[in-house]
Each structure stands twice: as C-alpha cells, then as structure tokens.
Amino acid sequence: MSDRAPASAGRLLVTGCDVLRVPPEGECEILQARDIVVADGVIQDVRPTQDVRPTGTVAHVRPDVIDRSDVIDGRGLLAVPGLINAHTHSPMVLMRGAAEDVTVEGWFNDRVWPMESNLTAADVRTGARLACAEMIRSGVTTFADHYFFPEQIAEAVAETGLRADIAPTYFSSRGQEALESTVRFAEEWHGGAEGRVTVSLGPHAPYTVDDTDLRTLAGHARRLGVRTHIHAAEHLEQTRSSLERRGITPIRVLHETGVLDAGALIAHGCGIVEDDLPLLAGHADTTAVAYCPKVYLKHALSPLTPVRDLLAAGVTVAVGTDGAAGHNTLDVWEALRLVALTQKQAVRDATWMTVSDTLRLALRGGARALGLQDRIGALEPGMRADIVLTDLSGAHCRPLHDPRAALVYSARAGDVRTVVVDGRVLMCDGRLLTVDEPTLLDEADARVARILDTSHGRAVQHYDP
C-alpha cells in the first residue's frame, strides 16, 4: 500500500485537452480543446474549454463546478477512454520471460503449470499489485482477470483504484470445495470496491472442467446475475480434439451446459468454426470473445480468431493481453495494434479493421465484453470517469496528421501521462499515486527464485485437451 494519499474522488476538471470520440459506428473523431467535468466519479460534461489562464488555474468557471475539485491541465494532451484488457491473468507478471520458445504443450506442462503450483496467496498479492502498476502506467483502467487467490486480486484492485472483473480459476480436478469457494468469492466481491470490482465465474476450459461442473456454475451465474469467463476453442486442434472425443465443438459444449445462456466471456476462440457462429450469435447480447493476438503469433497458432465472421454475426469482440508469461507485457496499446495488423493480414484486406474500427473494438468492444457498456469505454456524460491523458508530442508520433492513426500505429504505453479511474487520479504526469512501486518491485524480485523452481515435478493441472 502506498504511503501517499490517493487523490480525491470528488470533483475533477480536466481542462483544455483534445478528446477521442468513439461513436458506436463510423469514424472516430478528435474533439479539440475540451474540458471534461467530473463529479462523484461520473463524467458530467465534455464541453468546449473555458478560458484557462497560462498558469493552469481556471478562470470564468462557475464556482459550483470547481468547488472541491482537482484541476488537471490537459492542454497538449489527448484524452482517451481508459483502455480495457479483456482477458488476462494479472499475477502471471511474476513469470514474465520465464517460458520462451516452447510449444503450447511445453508452455503448459513444463513451465507454467508447474510454476503455478508454487504460488502462495502472498505471491498473488504481490503479482496482482505489480500488474496493476504496469496497467496504470500504460493507461489500462479495466481488466478482466482469471486466476487463483482471486480475493488477493480484488484487494489489489480496491487498493490501487483500478476497475476489474475477476474470475476465480477453477479446474474440476480441484473438487467440490474449490467450486463452492469460487461461488462464495462471487457472492462476496461482485459489486465491491465501490462498484469497481465485478465478478465472473471462472471454469478454466471445457477440457479441464467437466459438463456437470459447467452446468452447476452456469446455474450459479444465472442466480447471481454474473457471467462466466472461460477459455474455449483456444486453437483449431482443441476443436478437432473435442469433435473426436465427444462429437461436438467446445463452443457447443458451452451452449449445451448453459454457459452461453448465462453469458460468457470466451478467451481466444482461434478454434471457433462456422457451426459455432449461430450459437454465439444467439446470445450476442451477453457473449463476447477476447482476442489476444500476440500470444497466438508467439505460440505459432493458425488460423487466428475469426474476428470478421464474429463481428458479422453480431458477436462482441474485445482485445486482451492474456497473461504476461505469454504476452510478456500487459500493454493494451501493443495488443490493439496487433488486432489491426493481424486481422488485415488474416482476411487479406488492408482496408479492413480500420483505425476507427480498431479503437472501437478495443474500447466499446471491451466495455461490452465485460457487461460494462453503460459505464465505461467512452468519454461521454453519464459514463464513469475513466480517463487517460496521452502525450502524442514525441518524435515518434510527429508530424501528428491523424491522432487516431497515431494511437493505433505509433503511440506507446510510455506516452500515457495521467490516468483517472472513477474520477480518482491514479497516475499524475507519470507519478503513481496509489502504488509504492519501488517497494513492490523489491517484493516481486524476492519471490522469483522460488516461483521459477520446477524441480519438484508438481503442476496445477496437466494439459491434454
């Protein structure tokens, strides 16, 4: 926990910034020279900027607007909606760079699942906080997490001020008590941290959770009004294996066990086939697919998620990083750039997945994927104030003909200057306000040797989809 007090969550005024507008369809726009007025964590207005004195203090603003407010000088910066990481395993930052140049099977069975058997609640506590620090620095304000010791992640989110949907990872091999504990986590934490934490149930995948457990969890999801976050059809071989072993695709398993009906965030879906599309489309209002292209390339997967077919069928697609043991960063800028690049190539159409469509997929798609489209994903009155101020004045973005293209193809996480979540300032001009980063980095370093030791031969699970 930081020794520095977090900024107030009362009133906030961001003055003189440009604002990225991401409409539900059509071209994104840059609204120039705006003030963003925030009260009680909600955007009240995005209006042409008022006269601002050169010192940065605000003049000619009605006193009731600036009463108790923090004022952020946004001149020269572009405000974008906070980025959304629609699929990750945040504490896996502890294993960043520790599973390189291996097959998918080797990644699971020789590296990651053995390492994960070493993890303690305290490790996850540190890993989740480190992940939050990295995400705040890169302008990610919301993440959909899927991991063990979920209460540690929820505490990290509560403390650092981020927003997250947290799914407790469950394997059937863990037994009934583990299943009940994931349900209790949902009961305790859904709507927690002043509404910034939501919960999804987290059966790992159709190949590690049996149909009975999927049905039970889908029933709990419906009862609790939460969704399920699950890996499915991660690549085409898994779909083929499912067809061979049981005659139906992984997506149909989710359909038949009621998981789709209760609402599902499906990670990856590179193995989604044509027959799956109507099943997903039938639940398009509560079902989404998180696309994490960097890890698919790194794991040499082909084909990639059929994003164009999914969007054409009305299914929401969002962008995620997956865990840092595969993606190496939690950088959604990197991920959304790869959305555009990989999808243009995948469908052999350079005019598709345009700059505007990529930003829309990452922002509005991300919000819908988490069921939060009424709260986040756009800087508009009535939305929660999750605001990222980016500085596109660096040489690598100049001349700045088109800030939208710069966001997709030139900008870097390091261009993020200031981050606001729910109206609270989490980073101000590169300074983290809710994380004691040096102490946290030392804590993480101290845990490394033990976590990386796989000489014991244990694993949390065996991969054999």
List interacting residues with its own copies (CB under 8 A).
93-98, 100-104, 106-107, 130, 133-134, 137-138, 294, 296-302, 328-331, 340-342, 344-345, 347-352, 354-355, 393-402, 405-406, 409-410, 412-414, 437, 441, 444-445, 447-448, 452
In whole angstroms, the minimum distance from the beta carbon of 174 to its own copies comes to 27
Which residue spans within 122-271 are E strands per DSSP?
140-147, 163-170, 197-203, 227-232, 264-268
In whole angstroms, the minimum distance from the beta carbon of 391 to its own copies comes to 11
Strand partners, 425: 420
Please give the full DSSP string across 247-282, using - where no structure is assigned.
SS-HHHHHHHTTHHHH-EEEEE-TT--TTHHHHHHT
Strand partners, 145: 88, 166
Place of tokens 């088109």: 402
Contact present, 43 and 102 (Cβ < 8 Å): no
In whole angstroms, the minimum distance from the beta carbon of 353 to its own copies comes to 8
Q: What are the phi and psi torsion angles at 394 (to 5°)?
A: -70, 155
Compare residues 109 and 354 and give the one whose CB is closer to its own copies.
354
In whole angstroms, the minimum distance from the beta carbon of 434 to its own copies comes to 13
In whole angstroms, the minimum distance from the beta carbon of 68 to its own copies comes to 32
**Among positive and negative, which fits the CA dihedral 214, 93, 435, 382?**
negative
Compare residues 247 and 399 and give the one whose CB is closer to its own copies.
399
Strand partners, 43: 38
Place of tokens 């020269």: 76
In whole angstroms, the minimum distance from the beta carbon of 465 to its own copies comes to 16
The letter for the amino acid at 109 is N
Compare residues 28 and 367 and give the one whose CB is closer to its own copies.
28
Compare residues 223 and 396 and give the one whose CB is closer to its own copies.
396
In whole angstroms, the minimum distance from the beta carbon of 413 to its own copies comes to 7
Compare residues 246 and 396 and give the one whose CB is closer to its own copies.
396
Neighbours of 429 (CB within 10 A): 12
Compare residues 107 and 148 and give the one whose CB is closer to its own copies.
107
Compare residues 137 and 384 and give the one whose CB is closer to its own copies.
137
Q: What are the phi and psi torsion angles at 92 (to 5°)?
A: -70, -5
